[in-house]
A and B are shown apart, each in its own frame.
Chain A
């Protein structure tokens, strides 16, 4: 078996573990569906009927984010419970193990958000399904970026539950300072310039924007937004891969992180 086949095998096992964790699926589905069918609907009545259509693509993006960040939980658990020592005995290079985890995180995010997009299409009619298919590779890269960020926080979490502090802070700050709930124009109008800039380049904003414009409004794919999405996601994936690799290498050399 080649190194690449082993890598794919590890990625597939981790990916299937994500979807077999029933409580996690229950959490994700209950959160996403209640956000879509309750929160978005009620906020739409409070703000304007169009707000519902605006928010639904944002909720799909948040679903992708939540599914991809589970990579961090799995890495944290493996480090905490010592399962990582078992991984080190597998006939695969450290870098292969790292890449397998990031790929599995990306796949988890993209598969879960695609399922959510299909559900969302019953509530808000998509204008261009072909664009949705073309966006899948970009969403995969975004999910690997988020998985990388989660892997980074899992790798630097030395004390017991501190990973959850990081995970919560990451989710709240990324979702709040983004265009998931409000447009870039609204942010620029009411908040200081630096916050508006951060929100503009937030990968979640870019993903929500491209879904709104290309899938639900039927406009042509915006190459500027897509290239920004790649430029912001790839460094995050690299950061996570590097930090996880450093931890695994330290484990291999010293026997402890």
Chain B
């Protein structure tokens, strides 16, 4: 366990050595919320009350999603630059290696999403300790699930980096657009809503909004959302654990 923590601490130190990414992420969040969020909420008006708050949670889901993508890219980059074979020679189990990657992902996600979350809750007057904690928990679980997907997909990069990037980008576009990140299920056309209920982001976004007190008539059932988010986190991490265990040995990045 000590070795896992050491490896995770090493990765997190590398992450913290370049704070530019964090400042940029927070600044872009503030810009999008203050310009796009405020103007779109005026345009949406009473069609969706409090769209500004709805959008701010959606933006946090995007931050979580991008952080999880970072973990996958970090993994691929490690392989591309020859660090992965070095990590594999360390006296650490494959599952320990995966846990250290997940801890890196958790640190990355929490550092990027917690300050904007607290700032939004404080400014909107919705800051309560249980609300913030449960919202962070929902975002954390969603982040784990997406990280699991990204690490599993990273193995495509060992065959072809181009295909990996295409899959990642295409998947990102579809998962975000066909979800309730920026609009509730109620306003989607009937032919899109069945696709949207397949996106994990739909459940993560609605669960976080429910914890923060958004009008439940625009959200999915919170119990269902909590079950799906947890199931996705457990299943995708198990899948990536199996992949790390079986496939990683001897791979060469394309």
Contacts and interface: CB of A to CB of B under 8 A. Distances in A.
Do A and B actually bind? yes
Contact of B189 (A42, A165, A187, A191): A42
A224 interface: no
Contacts of A42: 183, 187-189, 192
Interface of A: 21-23, 26-27, 30-31, 34-35, 38-39, 41-43, 45-47, 51, 162, 165, 168-169, 172-173, 176-177, 181-182, 186-187, 189-191, 195
Interface in B46-90: 47-48
B31 A176 contact: yes
Given A47-B47, A181-B36, A23 B174 contact: no
B40 interface: yes
A186 B39 contact: yes
26 contacts: A23-B162, A23-B166, A26-B166, A27-B170, A27-B173, A30-B170, A34-B178, A35-B177, A38-B192, A42-B192, A46-B47, A46-B183, A51-B43, A162-B20, A165-B21, A168-B24, A169-B28, A172-B32, A176-B32, A181-B39, A182-B39, A186-B42, A186-B43, A190-B42, A191-B38, A191-B39
Contact of B44 (A27, A34, A47, A195): A47
Contacts of A45: 187-189
Given A26-B169, A30-B170, A42-B188, A169 B177 contact: no
A216 B127 CA distance: 46
A4 B178 CA distance: 48
Given A45-B189, A47-B44, A191-B39, 19 more contacts: A21-B162, A23-B162, A23-B163, A23-B169, A26-B169, A26-B170, A27-B173, A35-B177, A38-B178, A39-B182, A172-B28, A176-B31, A177-B35, A181-B39, A181-B40, A182-B39, A189-B42, A190-B39, A195-B35
Contacts of B42: 186, 189-190
Contacts of B178: 34, 38
B79 to A, nearest CB: 16
